[in-house]
Amino acid sequence: MTKPSPSPDTVAHRSAFRRRLSLAGRATAVVIAALLIVAVVSWARAMMAPSSMPLFIRTVEWVRDNGGAGLVNFVEHAYYSAQAPETGGAPLTSLPAFGVEGSVAASGPPPVVTAFDPPLPGEGVWRPAGRMVLGGDPVLVTVFRPDAAYPRQLAYAAWIDTSRIQLELYPGRKQPPNADPRGPMEVPVSLRPELLATFNSGYTYKDSLGGFALQGRTFMPMRAGQATVIEYTDGRVDIIDWTGGPTVGPDVVLARQNLPLLVKEGRPGPDLANEAAGGFSLGNAVRVWRSALGVDAGGNLIYLAAPGQTVGSLAGAMVSAGAVRAMMLDINSQFPTFITYGKAGALDPVMVVPNTRQSASRYLTPDDRDFFAVYAAPKLKGPPQT
């Protein structure tokens, strides 16, 4: 049976419908193309801007900053979960070289009690990192195994005698976003004769939601309940739970916040079970490179970085290293960085933390992120940022 032909009106209607679909398709294609062009131009500008970060890391940060934070967090969470270290395995039989070979600190903290008995030769023993200041060792370093379930994982730690140093905090190219003026964004050349060490700061400010202050000026508002490294004009350095208002007083040389306290009263902080204790990206349970800064009972600083750490295991490692209060610093393999300088003028730099994505010249050239520098006492005069 022959199918009847459509009427002229039906044919015209179908033709008009197809034209509308075609126009809509072309319009959609134009919009998508325009958006892609805008995105490519934005990415290219970001990649061509001066930066201390590798191209891949800058691309990830660009995606995060342009509406893709959820996607990046999901991918990172899945990747690091899949790459999590396995428990057990053959224990280490030796340690990597650290500190001044063959020397042991004449004074300083007791050896770290490791998770293994007996410890490896030199494990947990503090060694000088370089030259002496005022008759003592201002920076000591050690390595130790913090977790019996992971016999091949090492924590890299540094102890800083605050009576022999001056701590300084420098803004980077991009962090904190509101710093003005930014200063040199690297260790000033004029101060390098007194440079002893440099190390990374905390999360980006959109992730930490914490404050940043220099020389009594608050560039990012301080937030109550955040762990805060603080230095006062009388030279005291501390890690505290901030209970003040959104600005610091004139007696504050520097203040930098990042998440709740990691260690409080010599024990892991009370809020570590909350996923937000690890930040809004990877949370508290993903095992990844993490770093921290603490203070011991004598008011001296302790820096520590280790791979494969949760927030809780990092807190435990900081307690083992002697911290009575501590805060988390930055995470992920590209950011934890502690560098010592064996000679005046920032010579003989040593990467205490084995970060293959950075070099020993980091912080001697402009860096994207804020960072800390440790100078020899007696105290420097005037704000070194200038």
- Asked whether residue 248 is domain-assigned, the answer is yes
Written as six digits, the tokens of 268 are: 């892991």
Print the domain residue range for 16.
11-82
Note whether 78 and 224 are same-domain residues. no
Note whether 60 and 170 are same-domain residues. no
Note whether 153 and 279 are same-domain residues. yes
**How many residues in total does the chain contain?**
386
The pLDDT tens digits of the residues spanning 108-153 come to 899 999 999 999 999 999 999 988 998 899 999 999 999 999 999 9
The last residue of a domain, from among 82, 113, 143: 82
Average pLDDT over residues 369-382: 78
Give me the pLDDT at residue 102, please: 73
- Asked whether residue 204 is domain-assigned, the answer is yes
Closest listed residue to residue 233, CA positions, set 258, 257, 252: 252
For β-strands 127-128 and 212-214, DSSP reports them as: unpaired
Note whether 160 and 44 are same-domain residues. no
Note whether 25 and 165 are same-domain residues. no
Q: How does residue 385 score in pLDDT terms, banded at 50, 70 and 90?
A: very low
Closest listed residue to residue 205, CA positions, set 185, 184, 226: 226
Note whether 74 and 157 are same-domain residues. no
The pLDDT tens digits of the residues spanning 12-43 come to 655 666 666 676 666 676 556 665 676 576 66
Closest listed residue to residue 280, CA positions, set 198, 210, 333, 222: 210
Q: How many domains does the chain have?
A: 2
Contacts of 358 (CB under 8 A, 6+ apart): 334, 337, 351
The pLDDT tens digits of the residues spanning 275-285 come to 666 766 666 77
Written as six digits, the tokens of 6 are: 């459509």
The pLDDT tens digits of the residues spanning 255-282 come to 999 999 999 999 998 888 776 667 666 6
DSSP of 157-194: EEEE-TTSEEEEEE--SSSSTT-SS-TTSS--GGGGGG
